[in-house]
């Protein structure tokens, strides 16, 4: 494995506008994550590819930052984890994401931009009109199917949460069990995906540049979201995330 393709990535111009953009994307994503259990990676990958010159830099940076976020949340909900649901979900994710990340590291970056745009549009349509209407029973087969889809989208786009969300919303016994199990899934799979990306040469200096303002936005957004949790309207906030997702997906799909 090697990162020859990524080694040619252009250097990112860390202008004030770019830093503010990364910070705000991370901030909004963190608030969404606190209210729904997901949405952080989706928000970052809806915005970063519009400004970051190399798609895989955006993917790798998102992978690092979301793992930090999930580590904090998994620890917070550690007493509510339903461990029995995780083995098939995580096992199939690990297998599929390994090959997805290797494919991303060894093929031209432009191949992934339009698929990413289409994926964001599909996600936005699903969450706007069909979320909550699809019920999946917990089990080895359902967990493995969800984990495989999550591994594919997570490996290619660093957005592996939605398939796991659909599965765990139906399979867990309570809201806190859903949150704890989902964040533990993000934590374990995030560490693994980052290791595989590192082995494939996807951790570069531009990735580190993006993570600094994003981590600041994450910490402030998560704190503010926790304080204002009871006052926010989670439904409207998620609708905003989906609207951003739809608009960004269309932009990426059209411009390539």
Helices (H), 77-204: 86-105, 110-129, 140-157, 161-171, 175-199
Q: Which two tokens stand for residue 200?
A: 């494939």
pTM: 0.76
Q: What is the pLDDT of residue 131?
A: 67
The residues, ordered by sequence, that sit 6+ positions from 208 with a Cβ below 8 Å of its Cβ are none
pLDDT at 162 over 70: yes
For residue 127, the model assigns a pLDDT of 76
Q: Is the pLDDT of residue 7 over 60?
A: no
pLDDT value at residue 2: 46
Q: CA nearest 56: which of 66, 45, 65, 67?
A: 45
Cβ atoms of residues 172 and 82 within 8 Å:
yes
Question: H or E stretch including 242?
Answer: helix 234-255
What distance in Å separates the CA atoms of residue 218 and residue 210, rounded to the nearest whole number? 12
User: For 74-100, how does the pLDDT look when each residue is reduced to its tens digit (9 = 90+)?
Assistant: 898 899 999 999 999 999 999 999 999
Q: What is the mean pLDDT of the chain?
A: 81
DSSP conformation letters of 152-167:
HHHHHHS--HHHHHHH
As a whole number of angstroms, the distance between CA 37 and CA 15 comes to 31
Contacts of 44 (CB under 8 A, 6+ apart): 25, 26, 29, 58, 61, 62, 65, 66, 158, 214
10 pLDDT above the threshold of 60: no
Local structure of residue 38 (DSSP, 8 states): -
pLDDT interval class at 191 (50, 70, 90): very high
Q: Which pLDDT score is estimated for 133?
A: 67
To the nearest whole percent, how much of the chain has pLDDT over 90? 16
Looking up tokens 């963190």 gives 30
50 is written with which tokens? Answer: 């519009």
Q: Which residue has the tokens 């339009």?
A: 114
User: pLDDT tens digits for 219-250?
Assistant: 898 888 777 665 666 666 667 667 777 877 78
pLDDT(171) > 70:
yes
Is residue 54 a contact partner of residue 9, using CB atoms and an 8 Å limit? yes
Q: Could you read off the pLDDT of 106-153 as tens digits, one per residue? A: 877 667 778 877 887 887 888 777 766 666 666 889 899 989 988 998
List CB contacts of 205: < 8 A, sequence separation 6 or more. 11
CA 35, CA 183: separation in Å to the nearest integer? 13
Which range among 164-168, 196-200, 201-205 has the greatest average pLDDT?
A: 196-200
């Amino acid at each position: 494995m090697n990162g020859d393709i990524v080694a040619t990535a252009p250097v990112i111009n860390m202008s004030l506008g770019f830093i503010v953009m990364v910070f705000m994307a991370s901030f909004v994503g963190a608030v969404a994550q606190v209210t729904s259990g997901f949405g952080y990676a989706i928000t970052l990958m809806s915005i970063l590819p519009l400004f970051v010159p190399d798609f895989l830099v955006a993917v790798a940076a998102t992978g690092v930052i979301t793992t930090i976020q999930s580590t904090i949340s998994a620890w917070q909900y550690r007493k509510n984890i339903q461990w029995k649901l995780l083995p098939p979900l995580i096992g199939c994710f690990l297998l599929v994401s390994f090959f997805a990340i290797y494919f991303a590291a060894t093929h031209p970056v432009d191949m992934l931009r339009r698929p990413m745009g289409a994926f964001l549009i599909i996600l936005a349509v699903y969450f706007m009109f069909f979320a909550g209407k699809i019920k999946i029973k917990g089990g080895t087969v359902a967990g493995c199917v969800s984990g495989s889809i999550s591994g594919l989208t997570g490996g290619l786009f660093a957005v592996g949460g939605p398939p796991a969300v659909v599965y765990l919303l139906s399979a867990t016994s309570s809201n806190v069990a859903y949150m704890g199990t989902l964040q533990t899934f993000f934590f374990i799979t995030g560490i693994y995906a980052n290791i595989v990306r590192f082995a494939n040469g996807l951790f570069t200096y531009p990735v580190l540049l993006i993570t600094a303002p994003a981590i600041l936005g994450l910490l402030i957004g998560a704190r503010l979201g926790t304080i204002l949790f009871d006052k926010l309207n989670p439904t409207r906030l998620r609708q905003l995330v989906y609207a951003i997702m739809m608009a960004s997906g269309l932009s990426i799909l059209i411009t390539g």
